[in-house]
Amino acid sequence: MNTLGTFIEPDTIRFERLLPGPIERVWAYLTESDKKGKWLAAGDVEPRVGGKVELHFLHSDLSDHDDPIPWKHRDMEKGHSSFGRVTRWEPPHLLSYTWGEANGEESEVTFELEPDGDQVKLVLTHRRLGDDRNVHISVAAGWHTHLGILSDRLNGHAPQGFWKVHTELEQVYTDQIIK
């Protein structure tokens, strides 16, 4: 599977990953605060359509590496929270929720899970990203980095520092995304 995210529409990026199963384990990492907080952001996901989604990001807690935050992201140094609503809840195969509800720039993230032997195919699609190239680069690098941490966690590996990887990937996506 291609490790880079692909813009399948001008405002929609898609990632595919093969992760170690079983599917219920991967689902738990998408929906349970303690597990979700190890790769993305802590916070509850209310298990129903219309349920509240809390994302409390603290990137420094995602690995044991001393990973200084880049100057341009310093506003996230002490954490950042985002809230949304569950739009689809079909355990353990499909989860969708809005993203960034509070700031008026609501997009939608969908996680699709499918067994693939002893692995699980994860397809992540983030829609309604708007037309700002810098947002596309940041979102692409962010999801790519978070998914790498998820893969490391599920495989029992220690993840690299978030900001180190994210900064490298911002350059990769900058070069990939047409101006």
From residue 35, give the alpha-carbon distance in Å to each of 30, 53, 75, 87.
Answer: 8, 15, 25, 21
Q: Cis omega before residue 115 (within 30°)?
A: no
Q: What is the dihedral of CA 94, 42, 81, 113, to 10 degrees?
A: -20
Query: For residue 35, is it within any domain?
Result: yes
Query: For residue 14, is it within any domain?
Result: yes
Query: For residue 147, is it within any domain?
Result: yes
Q: What is the dihedral of CA 148, 149, 154, 159, to 10 degrees?
A: 110
The number of domains in the chain is 1
Query: For residue 161, is it within any domain?
Result: yes
Query: For residue 128, is it within any domain?
Result: yes
Looking up residue 160, the CATH number of its domain turns out to be 3.30.530.20
Instruction: Give residue-wise pLDDT tens across range 57-110.
Output: 999 899 998 788 888 888 888 888 999 999 999 999 999 999 975 555 689 999
Query: For residue 42, is it within any domain?
Result: yes
Query: For residue 167, is it within any domain?
Result: yes
Instruction: Give residue-wise pLDDT tens across range 23-38.
Output: 999 999 999 999 999 9
Q: Which domain holds residue 140?
A: 6-176
Query: For residue 1, is it within any domain?
Result: no
Q: Give percent of the chain with pLDDT exceeding 70.
A: 95
